[in-house]
């Protein structure tokens, strides 16, 4: 599927250090050294039933910083992202608003592309719609059935056969994966999140309450596709596993998303992946904190959204939006206040005035500044520290040249001088 245009990323002299990144599965920061200089990133994409809000933006900006650091470290980066363009919440919203679900998904995916472009996010190398891989998902589920990792659950309200579920107990007894290997959550926490985040612990006929859905057989009035399993559509976790396997080497270097995806989504995607390949799913799991607004997690289902597209339509500078988000560490949960943008606009104006006054003639301390910026960001993507370094350079009257301006653009994604 089409993604969006790549922003200009200036080449900096030399290479930066490989970043450390906090790994959810081991509970500590780690440097992953990719084999042969190739890094593979999978980040869960949007469910396109409403526009990109600042929570989404914050998550994709965090992984954009990782991509920028990997590129600066000289790695060959492959980046895959999905869009969940068929799923229960999308279908429910389409029905509630009287819009065709395909149109809703297409229009909101378009808006997402333009938001990402405004924010200067480097596009994924492969941007994949779930509706384009349904037969591949069905084939993967068929393999899981054959190898004893999937089983049918009686589905009387479908004329198209039974739904299929993943057997977490079978996977845990014959692979390296087990419940908790990604999330490290205890049993009550898993149970709670499973029920809150799309799972169905009480469905009769399942072998274990936390077995997740792999395949939903066709229901009257719901979209379905003809496949080897009969007509139906994918469960949620397997879609990401299949797309990641299609576009990235196994194990993926980093599997990422917001912290609301740790369980069950990433735990189960990893379980499916390990059951399919016999190998660990990812080297490392990275999760971003949740952005709140008006005291609660910003979420499409609650409706407490600040949308990137609306801010841009009001004439706010997308670079200031990026800077306002980058002032928070990606792993912390934080709340957006409307004043945040005014503060970031002030900072952007100061930085821009400085950048336009910087000339080759005053170049001097650039190399040291670039090294400091690289070092700050390579410490678990510490964008607040990096912003502090730019502030100090701008305010300190230290000699600086075009290289410092390039470094801000290459590593922080903020273009200070129009080229």
What residue ranges bind Zn ion (CB under 5 A)? 44, 240
Residue 260 is a binding residue for ligand 5CA (CB under 6 A): yes
Could you give the C-alpha distances from 79 to 125, 161, 246, 343, 409, in angstroms and in order? 5, 36, 12, 32, 20
Partner that binds at residue 258, options Zn ion, ligand 5CA, none, CB closer than 5 to 8 Å by kind: ligand 5CA
Interface with ligand 5CA includes 144 (CB under 6 A)?
Answer: no
- Min CB(335)–ligand 5CA separation in Å: 10
How far, in Å, CA of 283 to CA of 34, rounded?
A: 9
261 forms part of the interface with ligand 5CA (CB under 6 A): yes
What spatial distance separates the first Cα and last Cα of the chain, rounded to whole Å?
Answer: 29
Shortest distance in whole angstroms from residue 265 CB to ligand 5CA: 6
Tell me whether residue 261 or residue 320 sits nearer to Zn ion (CB atom).
261
Q: Is 217 in the site for ligand 5CA (CB under 6 A)?
A: no
* Residue 115 in the binding site for ligand 5CA (CB under 6 A): no
| Residue of the chain from 297, 316, 329, 398 that contacts ligand 5CA (CB under 6 A) | 297
Please tell me the distance from the alpha carbon of residue 293 to that of residue 154, in angstroms, as a whole number: 42
Sign of torsion over alpha carbons 379, 381, 383, 386: positive
Q: What is the DSSP string of 55-90?
A: HHHHHHHHHHHHHHHHHHTT-EEEEEEEE--S-HHH
The phi-psi region of residue 355 (left if phi > 0; otherwise alpha if psi is between -120 and 50; otherwise beta) is: alpha
CB of 240 to ligand 5CA, least distance (A): 5
413 touches ligand 5CA (CB under 6 A): no
Q: Which of 212, 227, 215, 273 is nearest to 248 (CA)?
A: 273
Residue of 45, 199, 251, 264 that binds ligand 5CA (CB under 6 A): 45
Give me the least distance between CB of 289 and ligand 5CA, in Å please: 7
- For tokens 């390579």, name the residue: 378
- The entry of ligand 5CA, Zn ion, none near residue 45 (CB within 5 to 8 angstroms by kind) is ligand 5CA
Rounded to whole angstroms, the Cα distance separating 227 from 140 reads: 11
Give the three-state DSSP class for 112: helix
Q: Which is nearer to ligand 5CA, 3 or 58 (CB)?
A: 58
Q: Work out whether 47 is an interface residue with ligand 5CA (CB under 6 A).
A: yes
Instruction: List the single partner that 59 binds among ligand 5CA, Zn ion, none, CB under 5 to 8 Å by kind.
Output: ligand 5CA
Which are the contacts of 322, defined by CB distance < 8 A and separation ≥ 6?
Answer: 61, 119, 120, 412, 413, 414
Binding site residues, ligand 5CA, CB under 6 A: 44-47, 55-56, 58-59, 82, 84, 240, 257-258, 260-261, 288, 290-291, 297-299
């Amino acid at each position: 599927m089409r993604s969006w245009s790549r922003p200009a990323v200036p080449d900096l002299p030399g290479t930066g250090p490989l970043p450390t990144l906090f790994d959810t599965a081991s509970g500590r920061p780690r440097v992953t050294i990719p084999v042969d200089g190739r890094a593979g990133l999978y980040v869960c994409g949007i469910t396109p039933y409403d526009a990109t809000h600042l929570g989404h933006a914050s998550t994709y900006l965090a992984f954009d910083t990782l991509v920028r650091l990997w590129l600066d470290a000289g790695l060959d980066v492959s980046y895959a992202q999905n869009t969940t363009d068929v799923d229960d919440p999308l279908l429910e919203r389409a029905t509630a608003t009287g819009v065709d679900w395909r149109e809703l998904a297409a229009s909101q995916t378009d808006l997402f592309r333009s938001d990402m472009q405004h924010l200067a996010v480097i596009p994924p190398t492969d941007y994949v719609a779930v509706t384009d891989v349904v037969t591949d998902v069905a084939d993967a589920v068929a393999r899981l059935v054959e190898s004893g990792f999937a089983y049918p659950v009686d589905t009387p309200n479908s004329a198209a056969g039974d739904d299929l579920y993943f057997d977490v107990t079978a996977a845990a007894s014959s692979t390296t994966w087990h419940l908790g290997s990604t999330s490290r959550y205890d049993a009550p926490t898993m149970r709670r999140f499973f029920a809150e985040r799309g799972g169905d612990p009480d469905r009769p006929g399942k072998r274990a309450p936390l077995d997740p859905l792999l395949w939903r057989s066709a229901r009257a009035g719901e979209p379905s596709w003809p496949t080897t399993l009969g007509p139906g559509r994918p469960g949620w976790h397997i879609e990401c596993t299949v797309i990641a396997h299609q576009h990235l080497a196994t194990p993926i270097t980093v599997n990422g998303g917001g912290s609301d995806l740790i369980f069950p989504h990433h735990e189960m995607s990893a379980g499916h992946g390990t059951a399919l390949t016999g190998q660990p799913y990812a080297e490392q799991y990275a999760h971003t904190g949740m952005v709140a607004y008006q005291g609660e997690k910003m979420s499409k289902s609650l409706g407490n959204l600040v949308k990137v597209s609306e801010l841009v339509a009001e004439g706010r500078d997308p670079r200031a939006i990026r800077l306002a988000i980058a002032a928070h560490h990606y792993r912390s949960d934080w709340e957006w206040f409307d004043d945040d943008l005014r503060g970031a606009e002030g900072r952007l104006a100061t930085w821009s005035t400085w950048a336009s006054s910087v000339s080759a003639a005053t170049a001097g301390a650039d190399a040291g500044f670039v090294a400091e910026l690289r070092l700050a960001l390579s410490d678990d993507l510490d964008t607040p520290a990096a912003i502090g370094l730019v502030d100090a350079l701008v305010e300190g009257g230290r000699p600086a040249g075009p290289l410092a301006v390039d470094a801000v653009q290459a590593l922080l994604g903020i273009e200070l001088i129009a080229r």
